[in-house]
Amino acid sequence: GAGVSQSPSNKVTEKGKDVELRCDPISGHTALYWYRQSLGQGLEFLIYFQGNSAPDKSGLPSDRFSAERTGGSVSTLTIQRTQQEDSAVYLCASSLAGTGNTIYFGEGSWLTVV
Amino acid sequence: SQKIEQNSEALNIQEGKTATLTCNYTNYSPAYLQWYRQDPGRGPVFLLLIRENEKEKRKERLKVTFDTTLKQSLFHITASQPADSATYLCALRTSGGSYIPTFGRGTSLIVHP
């Protein structure tokens, strides 16, 4: 597709369940980012993938959060044993190379934990 | 600690006027600074990038300035229109090391007809 695609666009889950959020970056983009945005808050960095390098996981808030990127393309963010404080918009972005110069965001996955 | 500060109060202006938004930072040595627009329920959209050795950048009705001495960037929208109403985010990337932009919280702009 032309842009970064995320799914699902909306997810309501019960506390304690696991969720998976998917990101399909722009074709040819080697860098992929996950950010989180809570209501009225700024973008909080979660994890960064660049090519075949080890991901930068320094933003993951706890060991319940993990992400992988298969084949240098699609990425999945997994949240285990969800908590209410995990409710937020999870934004994926990609860029052409690992420079961070211009990153292109998807529309986000809105997660609500009830 | 490192901080990026944008005015949390919404900026209300009249159509046709120039909107000026501010991004201040502390304890950063940014290689470049970016401005993004975010509409409600949407992902941010890139607008402009300015490098540390550039003073000013323009794109159509948009102008960005970057003062590394004051540690401040100003974002101007001239001849503002109600369609410019959105939240505007600044993002910094530091020299060397991480390629991960850090974002401010954004300032909401409301342009009244």
With contact defined as beta carbons under 8 Å apart, do A43 and A59 qualify?
no
With bands split at pLDDT 50, 70 and 90, how would you rate the model's confidence at A89? very high
Distances (CA, A) of B70 to A19, A106, B14: 44, 33, 28
Q: Where are the beta strands (DSSP E) in B61-101?
A: 62-67, 72-77, 86-94
pLDDT of amino acid A57: 94
Note whether B89 contacts A42, CB cutoff 8 Å: yes
Output the tens digit of pLDDT for each of chain B's 113 residues.
778 999 889 999 999 999 999 999 988 788 789 999 999 999 999 999 998 889 999 999 999 999 989 999 999 999 999 999 999 999 998 766 667 888 999 999 999 99
Determine which helix (DSSP H) or strand (DSSP E) holds A6, and give its type and residue range.
strand A5-7
Note whether A107 contacts B43, CB cutoff 8 Å: yes
Within 13 A of A66's CA, how many CA atoms are on the CB side?
Answer: 6
Number of cross-chain residue pairs from A and B with Cβ atoms under 8 Å apart: 49
* Chain B residues close to A46, C-beta within 8 Å: none
Q: Rounded to an integer, what distance in angstroms lies between the CA atom of residue A42 and that of residue B110?
A: 19
Q: Which of A101, A107, A112 to mutate to test the interface with B (most CBs of B within 10 A)?
A: A101
Q: State the distance between the two ends of chain B, measured CA to CA, in whole angstroms.
A: 41
pLDDT of amino acid A99: 66
* Chain B residues close to A33, C-beta within 8 Å: 100
pLDDT of amino acid B99: 79
Pick from A62-71, A78-87, B97-106: least confident: B97-106
With contact defined as beta carbons under 8 Å apart, do A110 and A11 qualify?
yes
pLDDT of amino acid A36: 97
Note whether A56 contacts B46, CB cutoff 8 Å: no
Which letter, b or e, does each residue of B55-87 get, where b requires 16 or more Cβ atoms within 10 Å of its Cβ?
eebeeeebbbbbebeebebbbbbeebeeebbbb
Note whether B49 contacts A101, CB cutoff 8 Å: yes
Q: Which of B51, B100, B102, B107 to mutate to test the interface with A (most CBs of A within 10 A)?
A: B100
Q: State the distance between the two ends of chain A, measured CA to CA, in whole angstroms.
A: 33
